[in-house]
Copies of this chain bind each other. A is one copy, B any other.
C-alpha cells in the first residue's frame, strides 16, 4: 500500500517510514549512527498495519518469531492466570520493544494487547540474529537493551516490594512523564491510555484504591485529572512523594 495523504487522523504517516527517517530509531534499536548498518536493519523490518484497541499483537503461547517496536499508540503486556485474572507486566510507549521475554523458550510467555490504535514495526528475530553476526554494535545493543529490561523489572520489584500505594502511583506517573518527555511530548500533560483497572493491576492495587489516590492527589494540588487526561501541577512534590520512604525511579533510562 503506497503512502497515503496525511490527514489529521492519528496515525497514517506511520505506514511506511524508513528507520533513518523515524524519530524513534535511536530509542528502539540504537545501532549507532552508521547509515549503512541502519539500512541493513531497515531491510529486515516489516511494518504492520495499525492494530486497533483491544486487538492482540500476540497471545500467550504463540511461537516466537519477532520482537516488536512500538511506533505509535501503546501496548500493554500481561500474563493471564488460570482463574481468568491477569497480571499486567508492562505498558509500552513508542520506541519501546516488546517480546524480549520470548527468546528464552521460543514461546511468548505473556500476551500483548493494544491499549489504543497502535502501529508497530515487526523485527523478525532470526534475521536480527543473522544481522548481529555482521554488526558488532548491534550485537552489543541487543544485550544492552535486554540488560536494561532486567533493570527495569528490578525497579518494579522495588516498587511492589517496598512502596505503599501513594508511592506506587506517583512512581508510575513520573515514569510515564519522563518517557513522554523523552519522546518530545509534554512531561506534565498527557493522556493515560490504560484503564484504572490496568493501572491498579500493574501496581498491585485494586481499582478503588487507584481511584481514591487520583482524587486525593488532585485534592492535594499535585495534579488535575479528568478521566484519562492528566496534568501534573507539582512535579517536585510528586518526586518527593514517590521516594518518600525508599529508593525511587521507575524505568530510569527509557526503553
Contact = CB atoms under 8 A, between A and B. Distances in A.
Contact of A154 (B83, B103, B136, B153): B153
B157 A81 contact: no
Task: Determine chain A's interface SS by DSSP, over half rule.
Answer: helix
A147 interface: yes
A124 interface: no
A87 B143 contact: no
A87 B158 contact: yes
Interface string A203-221: 1100000000000000000
A89 interface: yes
Q: How many chain copies does the complex carry? A: 2
A148 B64 CA distance: 14
Give the size range of A's interface with the partner. 35 or more
Interface string A110-147: 10000000000000000001001100100110111111
Nearest to A77: B154
A105 interface: yes
A109 interface: yes
Interface of A: 79-83, 85, 87, 89, 100-105, 109-110, 129, 132-133, 136, 139-140, 142-151, 153-154, 156-158, 160-162, 201-204, 243, 245-247, 253
